Chains A and B, each alone.
Chain A
Amino acid sequence: MKLNELTAHELLAHLKNKKTTPQEIYASVKGKIQQVDNRIHAYARYSHNGPLNQDSLAKPGAYPIPIAIKDNICIKDNETTCCSHILEKFKPPYDATVIQRLKAAGVPILGNTNMDEFAFGSSTENSYFGPTRNPWDTSRVPGGSSGGSAAAVAAHEAIWALGSDTGGSIRQPASFCGVVGLKPTYGRVSRYGLIAFASSLDQIGPITKDVTDCAILLNIIAGHDPMDSTSANIPLPDYTKSLMNNARGLKIGIPKEYFIEGLNAEVKQAIMAAVDTLKRCGASFQEVSLPHTEYAVSTYYIVATAEASSNLARYDGVQYGLRAYPQTSRKTALVDMYEETRSTGFGREAKRRIMLGTYSLSAGYYDAYYLKGLKVRTLIKQDFENVFQTCDAIITPTAPTTAFKIGEKINDPLSMYLSDIYTISANLGGLPAISVPCGFSKEGLPIGLQIMTKPFDEAMLFRIAYTFEQNSQHTKRKVELS
């Protein structure tokens, strides 16, 4: 097998046994990008020379395994644009904390992956630079918003990648692309340098080829950071220690509200087969109830857009990014500049979300929308707390369907929002959640299994995910792209 098709832990073993070198690994991945990225468009941009951090190959460190970075995570002096016209050409003057940690660990950075503008979307079609294609079927979306990162890993254009997840933006594309994607507990990974979408929901997390790589990458990026006052100052375990092939005695809940109308029959079948596999490994299952599930999408689109409208107020053409002037004056020169900059710089979905958020925060609607949303968020969080009194974990589908066609939902925002129906509750509750490949449809499209646990119990998440992976073959199937 080619080097770029191996996992990070396989490559680390090869390096240890002197079977390969960091330069060979990098060249193999880079060659694949040059071969297929004009068809997949996983990258918004990639380095045409060596890695962005040249010293990672000149003086290799502990993890010389090439990584792709979502285009909303700041890399010093390197274009980081959220795939938005308003930030085109923007070069951050500092590194995000996760980038500092990757650089310290010697991880070579390949470039920035494509995404829905400001992470607003579930298909990567809302990118200013055009859509990414699903490597399993290039007429389909890779999911989103971290679609570029998931497609890069699936197409072997990166060994591993970072994404961000506000309502499913790591897990849903991982599910659509047949890779592993983890949204850590809110506060587990520093958000410093992650360009904010919804600050009470956003988390950075790994997208990898298997569960072992996911644990290794979380070890590198996780931990308390004084630069992010919402990062949790609690002990950080070694997550590779929780990779046990053993589910004996574990109690897992299956929420009845997730198996409803709209869930594709093949997806349901694959999830139930995964349940049987875990039963054979010693886990016991019980039906549980998360009674406020039907309100999750509404609550999310109130909370997330309200926070987004506030976070995106900073794009005003003053300190950085695009500046535009109208041809004829409408208000004062300054307000004219603000409005023209934002009208030209933001895409359709960004405008939609900013306006929806502004509406629910505006006088007369605040109580009925925003405050109500925050109260329902409490109820959704309590649903999970109740279930975790008797269960170690919850298992659900990651998405109700497999990857849909490019263009299928782009003119129907509501149906696009509903593709996140199973993932957004974990963000509202701050819980960790992982998507692991659990099968393929008849058409050959990947299906993802979602596992959720109580906050800061990623160890349990990894144990169940690893046990499932070791007793199934789904992460072994690879995309063929000639």
Chain B
Amino acid sequence: MITNDDVKYIASLSRIHLKEEEMATLRKDLEDILHYIEKLKKLDVSGVEPTTHPLPLKNVYREDRKQNGLSQEEALSMAVERKNGFFKVPKVIE
């Protein structure tokens, strides 16, 4: 059972602000999908290791040598707002 408060809480964790009319449909959608996923509950997975990744890869390192990356200008080229070579954002502290 997913309540409107649950949906609001998940939305806030996701940094999404829902309109009232979105709330009801999303609550029902999430409830239906989670209900379907419930079927995993009947499966016993004790002793099974989780698979986070399909290949048996360990940490992959490159040689510790200087490489060319994007220039400051290229990295900032798509910025919505910029100032003095930085990305500019609204006030963080009230």
A residues adjacent to B (C-beta < 8 A): 90-91, 93-94, 186-187, 200, 226, 229-230, 232, 292, 294-295, 297-299, 301-302, 309, 313, 316-323, 325-326, 330, 332-340, 342-343, 346, 348, 351-352, 354-356, 358-359, 362, 368-369, 371-379, 381, 413-414, 417, 428-430, 455
User: Can you report 12 A-B residue pairs in the complex whose CB atoms are below 8 A from each other?
Assistant: A93-B70, A230-B57, A322-B80, A323-B80, A343-B17, A348-B22, A351-B22, A352-B29, A373-B40, A374-B52, A379-B43, A417-B33
Instruction: Specify the chain A residue showing the minimal Cβ separation from B39.
Output: A298
Contact of A372 among B30, B40, B78 (CB under 8 A): B40
B residues adjacent to A (C-beta < 8 A): 7, 10-11, 13-19, 22, 26, 29-30, 32-34, 36-37, 39-41, 43, 45, 48-55, 57, 60, 62, 70, 74-75, 77-81, 87, 89-94
Nearest Cβ on chain A to B22's Cβ, whole angstroms: 7
Q: Given A295-B40, A302-B37, decide whether A355 and B15 contact each other with a Cβ distance below 8 A.
A: no
Residues in B neighbouring A295, C-beta threshold 8 A: 39-40, 43
In the complex, are the beta carbons of A414 and B78 less than 8 A apart?
no
Nearest Cβ on chain B to A122's Cβ, whole angstroms: 14
Contact of B32 among A371, A414, A430 (CB under 8 A): A414
Q: Given A343-B17, A362-B13, decide whether A429 and B54 contact each other with a Cβ distance below 8 A.
A: yes
In the complex, are the beta carbons of A330 and B17 less than 8 A apart?
yes
Nearest Cβ on chain A to B87's Cβ, whole angstroms: 5
Contact of B37 among A229, A330, A369 (CB under 8 A): A369
Specify the main secondary structure of chain A where it touches its partner: helix
In the complex, are the beta carbons of B29 and A413 less than 8 A apart?
yes
A354 to B89, CA, bound (A): 23
In the complex, are the beta carbons of A355 and B40 less than 8 A apart?
no
A428 to B51, CA, bound (A): 9
In the complex, are the beta carbons of A200 and B49 less than 8 A apart?
no
A379 to B50, CA, bound (A): 9
Residues in B neighbouring A332, C-beta threshold 8 A: 91-94
In the complex, are the beta carbons of A358 and B14 less than 8 A apart?
yes
In the complex, are the beta carbons of B32 and A186 less than 8 A apart?
no
A262 to B42, CA, bound (A): 22
In the complex, are the beta carbons of A90 and B78 less than 8 A apart?
yes
In the complex, are the beta carbons of A319 and B87 less than 8 A apart?
yes
In the complex, are the beta carbons of A200 and B17 less than 8 A apart?
no
Residues in B neighbouring A336, C-beta threshold 8 A: 90
Residues in A neighbouring B80, C-beta threshold 8 A: 317-318, 320-323
Residues in A neighbouring B51, C-beta threshold 8 A: 374-375, 377-378, 381
Residues in A neighbouring B10, C-beta threshold 8 A: 355, 358-359, 362
A338 to B23, CA, bound (A): 19
In the complex, are the beta carbons of B16 and A430 less than 8 A apart?
no
Q: Given A90-B78, A375-B48, decide whether A414 and B36 contact each other with a Cβ distance below 8 A.
A: yes
In the complex, are the beta carbons of B37 and A374 less than 8 A apart?
no
Contact of A378 among B29, B48, B75 (CB under 8 A): B48
A321 to B80, CA, bound (A): 7
A316 to B81, CA, bound (A): 13
In the complex, are the beta carbons of B30 and A354 less than 8 A apart?
no
Nearest Cβ on chain A to B23's Cβ, whole angstroms: 11
Contact of B30 among A298, A299, A302, A356 (CB under 8 A): A356
Residues in B neighbouring A373, C-beta threshold 8 A: 40
In the complex, are the beta carbons of B55 and A375 less than 8 A apart?
no
Contact of A200 among B32, B53, B87 (CB under 8 A): B53
Residues in B neighbouring A428, C-beta threshold 8 A: 54
Residues in B neighbouring A316, C-beta threshold 8 A: 15
A193 to B17, CA, bound (A): 29
Contact of A298 among B26, B40, B87 (CB under 8 A): B40
Instruction: Specify the chain B residue showing the minimal Cβ separation from A426.
Output: B54
Nearest Cβ on chain A to B35's Cβ, whole angstroms: 9
Residues in B neighbouring A374, C-beta threshold 8 A: 50-52
The 10 closest A-B pairs by CB, nearest first: A430-B54, A374-B50, A320-B78, A333-B90, A229-B60, A375-B45, A323-B80, A339-B17, A378-B51, A377-B51
Residues in B neighbouring A317, C-beta threshold 8 A: 80
In the complex, are the beta carbons of A379 and B48 less than 8 A apart?
yes
Residues in A neighbouring B74, C-beta threshold 8 A: 93
Instruction: Specify the chain A residue showing the minimal Cβ separation from B63.
Output: A226
Residues in A neighbouring B50, C-beta threshold 8 A: 371, 374-375, 377-378
Residues in A neighbouring B19, C-beta threshold 8 A: 343
Instruction: Specify the chain A residue showing the minimal Cβ separation from B91.
Output: A333
In the complex, are the beta carbons of B55 and A299 less than 8 A apart?
no
In the complex, are the beta carbons of A321 and B78 less than 8 A apart?
yes
In the complex, are the beta carbons of B33 and A413 less than 8 A apart?
yes
Instruction: Specify the chain B residue showing the minimal Cβ separation from A374.
Output: B50
In the complex, are the beta carbons of B26 and A358 less than 8 A apart?
no
A360 to B39, CA, bound (A): 15
Residues in B neighbouring A343, C-beta threshold 8 A: 16-19
In the complex, are the beta carbons of B40 and A299 less than 8 A apart?
yes
Contact of A334 among B7, B26, B52, B92 (CB under 8 A): B92
In the complex, are the beta carbons of B48 and A232 less than 8 A apart?
no
Q: Given A295-B39, A318-B87, A323-B81, decide whether A372 and B45 contact each other with a Cβ distance below 8 A.
A: yes
Residues in B neighbouring A302, C-beta threshold 8 A: 37, 40
Q: Given A318-B87, A323-B81, A339-B15, decide whether A352 and B48 contact each other with a Cβ distance below 8 A.
A: no
